[in-house]
């Protein structure tokens, strides 16, 4: 058994790390001598989610909190479901909405027993609820966002929360579980992220947001009224 000197793990990682390759990793996991293979995706990556269909079709099980596959294009979502059924694979994603509470399974059970779902109500973003409950004007909003990210309360990119896209994806997932053929374009969102900060890196966004004062949905520079 190989051990790692925790005092020098960064140097070891820099020296021995290999580039991420989902296809090569899937081949390694799905070895012939293993009766079952399970892919656990704890990212928020579109690239990783794009492999779900082929993994499920190949007989691998997928467990994930990643919302991208179930809220992506409807045709791709349906192809993924068809691949899972054809191969008899397990696809578990209860944590995409409600942090693991049995919301999705409850919706599925209601539909399977013939109940009609009229509406769903709830606070769909624990992140936004936290940010707005903490914000009282005594601390810059940008600092609250940075601290929430450091504590793991936000998506890997806080703009997914602040733009409303995280809520939109949850709505799409819930709607599709109800049997609705929804696309992301069907959900209207009002973003808190200024257009100038929408495409930069996460660190650039966090740094730039500290140089503005947030007012309602629009940030203004510190020198403005």
Local structure of residue 25 (DSSP, 8 states): H
Among this protein's residues, is 170 annotated catalytic?
Answer: yes
Residue 176, domain member (yes or no): no
Max alpha carbon distance in the chain (Å)?
67
Q: What is the 8-class DSSP label of residue 179? A: T
* Residue range 47-75, pLDDT digits in tens: 999 999 999 999 999 999 999 999 999 99
CATH assignment of the domain containing 87: 3.40.50.720
Task: Give the model's pLDDT for residue 13.
Answer: 86
Q: Is residue 92 part of a domain?
A: yes
How far is it, in rounded angstroms, from Cα 104 to Cα 95?
9
Looking at the domain assignment, is residue 144 inside a domain? no
Supply 104's token pair: 């999705």
Residue 90 included in any domain: yes
The range of the structural domain enclosing residue 94 comes to 22-117
* 92 vs 61: CA distance, rounded Å: 8
In a domain, 108, yes or no: yes
- Render pLDDT for 86-141 as a digit per residue (tens, 0 to 9): 999 999 999 999 988 999 999 999 999 999 999 999 889 999 999 999 998 888 88
Q: Read off the tokens for 112.
A: 């399977």
Q: Is residue 65 part of a domain?
A: yes
Of the listed 67, 68, 149, 170, which one is catalytic? 170
Other Cβ atoms closer than 10 A to 44: 18
Does 40 reside within a domain?
yes
Stated length of the chain: 225
Residue 57: inside a domain: yes
């Amino acid at each position: 058994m190989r051990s790692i000197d925790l005092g020098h793990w960064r140097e070891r990682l820099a020296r021995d790390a290999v580039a991420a390759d989902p296809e090569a990793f899937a081949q390694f996991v799905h070895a012939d001598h293993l009766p079952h293979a399970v892919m656990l995706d704890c990212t928020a990556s579109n690239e990783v989610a794009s492999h779900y269909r082929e993994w499920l079709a190949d007989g691998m099980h997928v467990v994930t909190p990643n919302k991208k596959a179930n809220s992506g294009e409807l045709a791709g979502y349906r192809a993924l479901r068809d691949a899972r059924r054809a191969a008899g694979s397990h696809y578990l994603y209860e944590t995409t909405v409600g942090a693991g509470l049995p919301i999705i399974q409850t919706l599925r059970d209601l539909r399977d027993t013939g109940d009609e779902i009229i509406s769903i109500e709830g606070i769909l973003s624990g992140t936004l609820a936290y940010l707005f409950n903490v914000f009282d004007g005594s601390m810059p909003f940008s600092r609250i966002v940075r601290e929430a990210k450091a504590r793991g309360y936000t998506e890997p990119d806080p703009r997914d929360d602040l733009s409303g896209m995280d809520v939109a994806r949850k709505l799409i997932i819930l709607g599709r579980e109800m049997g609705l053929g929804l696309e992301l374009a069907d959900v209207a969102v009002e973003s808190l992220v200024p257009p100038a900060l929408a495409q930069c890196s996460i660190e650039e966004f966090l740094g730039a947001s500290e140089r503005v004062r947030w007012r309602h949905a629009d940030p203004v520079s510190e020198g403005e009224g």
